[in-house]
Structure 1
Amino acid sequence: MAKSKRCRTRIPKENRNNLRLWAEGTREEVLLPHVEPYADTSERGWRSERKYFQRVCNEYHVRISWRLEDHQEPDLPLLPFDPDAMLPVPEKLSAAELLQKETRQSLLDGRIRRWLKYRVKVLRKHLRTKVDSTRDPFAILLAKLAGVTAPPKARQAYQQFQREAHATIIEPVVQARWAQTAAIGSSVSVQKEPNVNFRSQIARELLAALPDSEREVYATRAKDEAAEARAAYMKALKAEPSKSPHARQLAIDNVGTFIAPILQGIHKRTGMHSVLILGGPVPQYGGDLRTIHVSYGRNRTAVGSHFPHWAKGHFNAVLELMKEYLHTVFTPQDSLEAVLPTGLEGATLTIDPESDESDSSIDSNDSSDAGSESDSGRPRKRGKDSPKTRRKRAVTSTPTSTPVSHSRKI
């Protein structure tokens, strides 16, 4: 026979020895509607979190008097609260009462923040998927959009030695050996710099000449750094997607290189051409509403045009409709929250096309001008080169800061 669950009589608030369930009752009714908005603003960065938290505290202190003890319930109905209205005129208090009020409200603010953080933690726990994101191929793929990539394997001892002692120990020996080899008429005399194999060989020789204890230090440090990088990678995979302006700008910058191989794969398996249109506040441009479109596939004309270029006028009309739609989705507050903080810098990753046979096109349009677009055009021809040379074409542009004052309200 199953045991029945024992029902315990809840201890009245005034008789409790701790603050557990301190908000139970009317206070909880005031705070509960703010849990999900607080969770959302917390993901947008500490500035958004602090701003919304201040709004929660303002409402709490307007509707519930600071004079009430923890066990006392406020009189109903509570005063209405309008976040856009002016706060009530402060009551006239003596210096002692004012100090008492500030102390009490500061104490309550701390409780409210801890209560909200706990509720958000519980909320995320219930919403979290049961699939392990560290083993989910789809989650790993999407993480690349946020710049999260698997770290390289641990360096070998000589590679760690090269990394740490290149300028002080290895490079002088490399230059001396290189000059010596060139002086005796070797083919290296026609090369500008020592190659990788030459440098690695000297690094191995110099490391082998060190005592065993020093070699072990380099090997251990290489393993430790790899373990730290792996732990950081796993933590990033498990974390919820950040809604901060910097994180979203990074994801926007990575859209082209992320989606191009996917659209190419869709084309290979379906034989169909595709156009992807994205739109929303762009942090890099002060939160302005903009559209980005990525297309794959060319037609049979002499120049081989993508659909947006072949039907430019009609496609611009589509973008205009998209921009009108975006104004029904995002509010001016959404644009303001998307602005990059002053002094925060972000870098854009740009990868040059490898050949003139590329079928993908990435364009960006301003919400205020349907005809303005930046097109990379037909890529220039290149000679054959190695994969290592192609990887070197990945260039990070010079970071530029976006002042908050440049944001445009919609």
Structure 2
Amino acid sequence: MVVITTSSKKRKSTKKERGNLRLWAEGAQEDTLRKHLNRVSEARLRGTWAQERAAIQAACNEYHARIPWNTPDHVEPTIVLDYDPKAPTAAEDLTEEEEKEKCRLIAVCNARITRWYTYRIRRALKKQRENTLDPCKNPFAVLLGKLSGLARAPRARQPFQQFQRESWREKIAPIIAIRRAELPPGAPYRAGFRAGVARELFAGLSEEDKQGLRQRATEEADVKKREYLEGLKAEPSREPLDVHNAIWAIHSVIYPILEGIYKRTGLQAHLICGGPTPEFGGEIRTHIISYGENNDTVPVSWAEWDEDRFTKNVRKFFIEYLQTVYTAEDCAAAALPQDVLDTLIHQGDLYTMPEEKPRDVNGPSSNEDDDDEDVNSTDSDSDTDTDVDAVALANAVKKKKARYAKEKGGRGVLMMKEKQKAGNAVDRARARPKPKPKTNAASSATVTQGEVTSMSSARSASFSTTTPLDVPEA
């Protein structure tokens, strides 16, 4: 018996055998071009044609200096010449016909090199998009999703938590009321108390009921996750109310980026953006968010250092440019309708959404811990008692607001109607020497064509504030 074995690898065709220009750059040619690939790619991604052209020109210059211009396409260069970008090009003794042929071949090769870079850059970008088809794995999609108010879908409840949610009023709340009445005066009441009652009642259920609760908890979590993914994949809404909410979320999204730039490079970063602002009738306004302060006695940010110059040379100049970008129709379309404005709370020059009821007194509504109880308890459950009276409810709201103000106080905003009022605040602050804070304050500012409205961090010495930029949900 004769056994014939064949190689599983197909022999690679040579350039001459292929008879086309596919994979024309190999060996020394590819090595020469690939050294400039990152530079060309970065220039193209920046969108600056001048930088891209300069990068491609540098690659072509090195290619023609190393590879003789008259090398046939199917011949692999065996001798690669040295290259010095600062050295002048050596003159060749060519006839007029040869000079024309050289220019023609170089022009053809330059176009081929440009296509070589274009193909590889597009292929790399396409591969990057394919690798991030799952929006949850794309950090940029998740980050920008915050501008649309998207929050990560919560994980599935435990079966006893699902039971607690579905049977709170009928089965759990009455038992908790009895147990609480039996507690001695002054005894601590923690979140684990309610969870313990729920676990005890859940343990007495049949296996069929437990399995049903587990299945319903998983299904509800899957629905929320699906809605979250659809929100990440959907096109951003340009409805005025959605744009309004996105504008006020810019600070919370961009602040970590500006902070990261400073910590990794030592460079102060500033974001200035502007356009029709929905809550001000579509009026063109600018928003400046800065990270870092100077070394004055009372450190201030860039926008606060010389407000007159900044307003004249930056804000107003930017507004003049924005007026050439947006038409009157664009501004009118961006304005919030009057019926929507009527539902917002007017705080000086700041519109915010009215606070929603923080708790559902009819039963549990989320898988978050209560703020007025020990959240460190290992048995903390996800819901609220039904016998919480109005006073206890109000106290819970106050505690949550106080804690939020304490944690987020350094990212507040100050809305002022008169520029003189802001100047007086600066003068008073400068008159009181203070210890130099760390240069990690973020400040924001917004300005109209006539009136200046400023938003500043509490850590910035020029202003003080207690109003948080990202308004908390009660």
Q: Give deviations 1:285-313, integer Å, cap 9, x for gaps.
A: 22111111111112223332212112222
Give the whole-Å Cα distance in 2 for the aligned partners of 1:243 and 1:396.
Answer: 23
Q: Distance in 2 between matches of 1:168 and 1:312?
A: 62
Task: Provide the rounded CA distance (Å) in 2 between the counterparts of 1:299 and 1:167.
Answer: 58
Aligned to 2:320: 324
Alignment of 1:200-211 (within 5 A): 200-211=195-206
| Alignment match of 2:278 (pick from 277, 283, 300) | 283
SS at match of 2:339: coil
Match for 1:180 among 179, 182, 200?
182
Q: 1:379 to 1:190 in 2, by over 3 A?
A: farther
2:259 counterpart SS class:
helix
1:331-366 C-alpha deviation (Å, 9 max, x unpaired): 010011112234345755996463766833343424
For 1:116-155, what per-residue CA distance to the aligned partner results, in whole angstroms no more than 9, with x for missing partners? xxxxxxxxxxxxx655252322222222221223211111
Q: 1:181 is aligned with what amino acid?
A: L
Q: Alpha-carbon deviations, 1:85-134, whole Å to 9, x = none?
A: xxxxxxxxxxxxxxxxxxxxxxxxxxxxxxxxxxxxxxxxxxxx655252
Q: Does residue 1:395 correspond to 2:390, yes or no?
A: no
Superposed, which structure 2 residues align to 1:268-347 within 5 Å? 268-317=263-312, 318-344=314-340
CA contact (8 A) 2:441 2:460 kept: no
Match of 1:245 in 2: 240
1:9-65 Cα offsets, whole Å, 9 max, x none, are: xxxxxxxxxxxxxxxxxxxxxxxxxxxxxxxxxxxxxxxxxxxxxxxxxxxxxxxxx
Instruction: Work out whether residues 352 and 394 of structure 1, in 8 Å CA contact, stay in contact via their aligned partners in 2.
Output: no
Counterpart of 1:132 in structure 2 is 133
Secondary structure of the equivalent of 1:395?
A: coil
2:115 equivalent in structure 1:
none
Verify the 8 A CA contact 2:446 2:454 in the aligned structure 1. Answer: yes
Displacement of 1:274 in angstroms is 1.7
- Asked if the contact 1:267/1:273 (under 8 Å) is kept, the reply is yes
Q: What SS does the aligned partner of 1:328 have?
A: coil
Amino acid at match of 1:307: W
1:241 deviates by 1.9
Kept in 2, the 8 Å contact 1:260–1:360? The answer is no
Q: Which residue of 1 aligns with 2:220?
A: 225
Matches of 2:273 and 2:294 in 1, distance apart?
A: 23
Q: Distance in 2 between matches of 1:167 and 1:306?
A: 54
Q: Structure 1 vs Structure 2: percent identity of aligned residues?
A: 34
Report deviation, 1:394: 6.6
Is 1:261 matched up with 2:268?
A: no
CA distance in 2, matches of 1:182, 1:394: 40
Higher CA-based Rg:
2
| Unmatched tracts of structure 1, length 5 or more | 1-128, 184-188, 381-392, 398-410
Partner in structure 2 of residue 146 of structure 1: 148
Mapped to 2, the partners of 1:285 and 1:273 lie a distance apart of 30
Normalising by structure 1, we get a TM-score of: 0.55
Task: Render the CA deviation track for 1:259-294: whole Å, top value 9, x for unaligned.
Answer: 111111111111111211110011122211111111
Deviation at 1:168, TM superposition (A): 3.8
CA contact (8 A) 1:133 1:139 kept: no
Deviation at 1:379, TM superposition (A): 8.2
Q: Which blocks of at least 5 consecutive residues in structure 2 are unaligned? A: 1-128, 345-351, 356-400, 411-436, 462-469
Change (3 A) 1:170 1:212: same
TM-score by length of 2: 0.48
Q: Number of paired residues?
A: 252
Aligned partners of 1:242 and 1:323: how far apart in 2?
Answer: 24
- Give the Cα separation in 2 of the matches to 1:268 and 1:202: 48
What is the rounded CA distance, in whole Å, between the counterparts of 1:251 and 1:152 in structure 2?
22
Matching residue of 1:162: 164
In the alignment, residue 201 of structure 2 is paired with which amino acid? L
Task: Name 1:198's counterpart in structure 2.
Answer: 193
Going from structure 1 to structure 2, the CA distance change for 1:322 and 1:154 (only over 3 Å counts) comes to same
Q: Which residue does 2:36 correspond to in 1?
A: none
> Root-mean-square deviation (CA), in Å?
3.1
Q: Distance in 2 between matches of 1:328 and 1:278?
A: 15
> 1:360 is matched with which residue?
441
| 1:243-271 deviation digits (Å, cap 9, x = unpaired) | 22222222112101111111111111111
Kindly provide the CA deviation profile for residues 153-212 of structure 1, in whole angstroms up to 9, marking residues without a partner as x: 1110111222233344323322322332325xxxxx254xx3211111111111112333
Match for residue 369 of structure 1 among 431, 436, 450? 450
Q: Taking structure 1 as reference, are residues 273 and 253 closer, same or farther at Cα in structure 2, changes over 3 Å only?
A: same
Q: Does the CA contact (< 8 Å) of 2:316 and 2:449 recur in 1?
A: no
Work out the CA distance in 2 between the residues paired with 1:377 and 1:213. Answer: 56
One-letter amino acid of the counterpart of residue 155, structure 1: R
Paired with 2:268 and 2:457, the residues of 1 have a C-alpha distance of 19
CA distance in 2, matches of 1:342, 1:133: 39
**Residue 394 and residue 324 in structure 1: after superposition, are their counterparts in 2 closer, same or farther (change >3 A)?**
closer
* More off after superposition, 284-293 vs 242-251: 242-251
Given the superposition, is the C-alpha separation of residues 284 and 343 from structure 1 closer, same or farther in structure 2, using an over 3 Å criterion? same
Change (3 A) 1:361 1:226: same
Distance 1:272 1:379, change over 3 A: closer
User: Residues 167 and 290 from structure 1, CA distance in 2 versus in 1: closer, same or farther, beyond 3 angstroms?
Assistant: farther
What's the secondary structure of 1:372's corresponding residue? strand
- Indicate conservation of the 8 Å contact 1:151/1:229, yes or no: yes
